[in-house]
Amino acid sequence: MKNLLLKLYTTNALTKDELLYLLTNIDEEYEKELFRLSDLTRRKYYSNKVYFRGLIEFSNHCRNTCKYCGLRTQNKNVERYRLSTQEILDCCDSGYKMGLRTFVLQSGEDGYFTEDILVDIAKRIKDEFPDAALTYSIGEKSEACYEKIFNAGADRFLLRHESANKKLYEGLHPNMSFENRLKCLKNLKSIGYQAGSGFIVGLPNQTDEIIAEDLLLLKNIDLQMVGVGPFIPQSDTPLCDCESGSSRKTLICLAIVRLLLPKTLIPATTALAVVSKDGWINGVKIAANVIMLNLSPPSAKDKYRIYDGKNLLLDSAKQSLCSTISKLNREGFVADMSKGNYPDWERNDNYEYNA
């Protein structure tokens, strides 16, 4: 185990068998060492900086039927909503005034937002806030559509692969294809987006071997952003009675991602905060360097229930900005409100390994 961790730290790579061995056999002592090496690696590129983003959940309509997600089409217990372009701009404006310089626009796969509308939203955001970065997280689109939105000003795109195992992926996502998911990620990268992906930890029937495949997929695509969070059952889905993913396993995965992709931007996910009270700050202490503040209007926040418990985090963005920054400062981290592009890291060799 010691040699494996050292190899992961020095080469930023492991084989599938090595990852599987690590995931299955790591004990408390080596877990501490894994977390130490991951933290050291993050500090080497990002020092103690944590970037802030503003998240706008602009529609909870979705044509898909993902078995774990509360926004799935068949869920009749959701009150569906869409924000208008003006409402989206107002959310950006409130975030901009707080100092945020990245807006993440997320929605279900909602056909109402045609290519033309998405292009218009991107142009208007970039016109009004030229010094801010725009991230879309809106699911699968054609290559041509991704390209038009990119040309209209979108800088980044988040599309989690959810699970790298074709059988598990297709079992959880009726009528969707794993190959198309990968093709979308490839297209996003080749168009020039800073691309993000990621997976869910603790999905029913997920094995350590599948998690090893998830980790390798992220490494092979060489992503600039990686989101990993625990599975949380949602009461109106077919997986409502399944157990949540563990925060310990999620933290181990985050640390491995940090070591496989040292410069990647990793958010401390909301799902981590839902499964464990200290989840998000532990995520930051170990590997994460991004926090997303929810800028959606209160009425929308309450309806964007992808998993249970999410609506309990209903502090206003301003309140959470203050409390999050003080908690970070107490732990020795500093908030960085700049755009925080992937290439903005700077290597600092003060953080070196000592055995």
> Residues interacting with ligand 5AD, by CB under 6 A?
68-69, 160, 162, 200, 229, 231-232, 234, 271, 306-307
Residue 318: name the closest of 24, 31, 108, 99 by CA: 99
CB of 306 to ligand 5AD, least distance (A): 4
Question: What are the residues whose beta carbons fall under 8 Å from the beta carbon of 179, sequence distance 6 or more?
Answer: none
CB of 300 to ligand 5AD, least distance (A): 15
Considering the complex, state which of residue 256 and residue 271 has its C-beta at the smaller distance from ligand 5AD: 271
Considering the complex, state which of residue 230 and residue 340 has its C-beta at the smaller distance from ligand 5AD: 230
CB of 12 to ligand 5AD, least distance (A): 24
Please identify the residue of the shown chain whose CB is closest to the bound ligand 5AD.
Answer: 307
Question: What are the residues whose beta carbons fall under 8 Å from the beta carbon of 140, sequence distance 6 or more?
Answer: 109, 159, 176, 180, 181, 184
Residue 301: name the closest of 328, 319, 286, 285 by CA: 319
Considering the complex, state which of residue 12 and residue 64 has its C-beta at the smaller distance from ligand 5AD: 64
Give 225: exposed, middle or buried? Use CB within 10 Å, 0-12, 13-18, 19+. Answer: buried
| Cα 115–chain centre separation | 24
Considering the complex, state which of residue 297 and residue 309 has its C-beta at the smaller distance from ligand 5AD: 309
CB of 66 to ligand 5AD, least distance (A): 7
Considering the complex, state which of residue 68 and residue 345 has its C-beta at the smaller distance from ligand 5AD: 68
Considering the complex, state which of residue 70 and residue 262 has its C-beta at the smaller distance from ligand 5AD: 70
Measured at the CA of 221, the angle between CA 216 and CA 222, to 5 degrees, comes to 95
CB of 304 to ligand 5AD, least distance (A): 9
CB of 184 to ligand 5AD, least distance (A): 13
- The DSSP code sequence of 203-267 is -TT--HHHHHHHHHHHHHHT-SEEEEEE----TTSTTTTSPPPPHHHHHHHHHHHHHHSTT-B-B
